Structure 1
Amino acid sequence: MELRTARLLLRPARSDDVDPLHAIMRQPRTMAYWSTPPHESPEQTADFVTAMMEIPDGQGEDFVVEWEGRVIGKAGLYRFPDIGYLFDPAVWGQGFAQEALRAVIGRAFTVHALPRIQADVDPRNAASIRLLGRLGFHETHRQSRTWLVGEEWCDSVYFALLREDFQTT
Structure 2
Amino acid sequence: MIRTARLTLRPVRPEEDLGAMHAIMREPRAMAYWSTPPHESEGETAEWLANMAAIQPCEGEDFIVEADGQVIGKAGFYRFPDLGYMFDPAVWGQGYAREAVGAVVERGFAVHRLPRIQADVDPRNTASMKLLERLGFAETHRQARTWLVGDTWCDSVYFALTREQWGQRTA
TM-score greater than 0.5 by the shorter chain: yes
Mapped to 2, the partners of 1:118 and 1:60 lie a distance apart of 13
Mapped to 1, the partners of 2:154 and 2:146 lie a distance apart of 6
Q: Give the aligned partner of residue 85 of structure 1.
A: 85
Q: Give the aligned partner of residue 140 of structure 2.
A: 140
**2:40 pairs with 1:37:** no
Once superposed, what is the RMSD of the aligned Cα atoms? 0.9
1:21-100 superposed matches below 5 A: 21-100=21-100
Q: Give the aligned partner of residue 109 of structure 2.
A: 109
Q: How many residues align?
A: 168
Mapped to 2, the partners of 1:133 and 1:127 lie a distance apart of 10
**Matched position secondary structure for 1:45:** helix
Mapped to 2, the partners of 1:71 and 1:7 lie a distance apart of 13
> Structure 1-normalised TM-score?
0.98
Stretches of structure 1 that go unaligned for 5 or more consecutive residues are: none
**Matched position secondary structure for 1:37:** coil
Runs of 4+ aligned residues of structure 1 deviating over 6 Å after TM superposition are none
**2:149 pairs with 1:149:** yes
Mapped to 1, the partners of 2:153 and 2:48 lie a distance apart of 22
On the 8 A contact 1:102/1:168 being kept in 2, the answer is: no
* C-alpha distance after superposition, 1:86-109 (max 9, x if no partner): 000000000000000111011100
Mapped to 2, the partners of 1:157 and 1:60 lie a distance apart of 22
